[in-house]
Structures are given as structure tokens and as C-alpha cells.
Amino acid sequence: MNLPNMLTALRFFLIPVYIIIFASGHMIPAFLVVIAAGVTDVLDGHIARRYGMITPAGQMLDPLADKLMIIAVIVTLLYAGHISWWAAGALFLRDLGMIVGGLILHFRGKKNVPANWMGKLTTVLLYGAIMFIFFQASFAEGFLWAVIAFSFLTSIVYAGAYRKLNPKQSSQPERPSGPEEPQNQKEA
């Protein structure tokens, strides 16, 4: 297991750590665990690209770790009454769709769409929204909804990129392009 994959594994480990700290009522330390997870995400991606350590396992597990951490944060914030059911549902819908869709594409052998600037910006904005919620900023909910809207726009852009990367193959057999000759022959 290489260093980027170890950092991804650490992120999986941080999920229950975050939940335990949050459940014990320690909001700031719980937020710091979320930040640590975000830092490991940036580091593993940077190290993997810079040193040629990208692996198929890492390509699948890295986004899964990110999504599961975000889902854990959403569930805990919802449970504590810091976000609405509607906001949680919208975030769940998007992230669950991305997890299931990514796994289906992976196991069907389709090409993954690499992260783009919109996806990275969505992540930064979401971490910002989480920070505003943890610190109970007055505009936190409005900011969260703006991030949710942007995240759905980002998903649409990714879907378009996926379609370009994996063109649909016709199930119809190809027909010759020239004129067809009639096959009527009379017997003499």
C-alpha cells in the first residue's frame, strides 16, 4: 500500500473518530477532525499525482472516503438540529448518487471522469459551509443552499464529461453506406 492510499485509509478511520467526538458534544474538536480529513484528501491527491502513485484502488477509494466523511457530517449535523431535513436530503441525494454511480461505472469498466476545478471548488465551498454551520454563522444555512445548488450544477457538468469520455455505443449493427442492390433474381 503506497502513501496516498494510506492517507485515504486514514480518512476512513477518521469517520468514526469524528462521530464519537461530535456525539460527545465537542464541536470544535469534531470540526478539526473534519479539517484533518480534508487535509489528508488534498495531500493524498497531490502525492499520488506528483510521484506517479495513482492506483485503481486509490481512484475508487479516495472519493468514497470523501463522500462517507461528508455523509457522516451531514447525519450528525442533522441529528443535532444544525441543518434541515431538506438540506440533508439534497446532499444525501447527490452524494449517494455519486457513490452508487461511481461504483457502477467502475465495475462496468467505464472510464472515470477526473476531478475538475468545479468539483474541487464544490468541495472547498462545502467545507466552508460546514465551518459556518459549526461556528453558527447567521448566514450558514443560506450559504449551504448556495453550495448545494452549485454541487448539482457540478454534477451535471460531470455527467456531460462522462458522456464525452464514454460515448454510447449503438446496439444496432452498422449498415453499409452504399445503395443496396435488390436481391430479386428470376429463374429461367
Residue 185, classified by CB atoms within 10 Å of its CB into exposed (0-12), middle (13-18) or buried (19+), is exposed
Lowest mean pLDDT among 18-27, 43-52, 139-148, 159-168: 159-168
CA distance 138 to 3: 40
Residue 171 confidence (pLDDT) above 70: no
Residue 140 confidence (pLDDT) above 80: yes
Residue 169 confidence (pLDDT) above 80: no
What mean pLDDT comes out for the span 83-111?
Answer: 85
Residue 87 confidence (pLDDT) above 80: yes
What mean pLDDT comes out for the span 60-78?
Answer: 91
The pLDDT, as a whole number, for residue 188 is: 44
Residue 157 neighbours by CB under 8 Å, 6+ apart: 116, 118
- Per-chain mean pLDDT for the chain: 86
The pLDDT, as a whole number, for residue 185 is: 52
CA distance 60 to 40: 16
pLDDT band at 158 (very low <50, low <70, confident <90, very high): confident
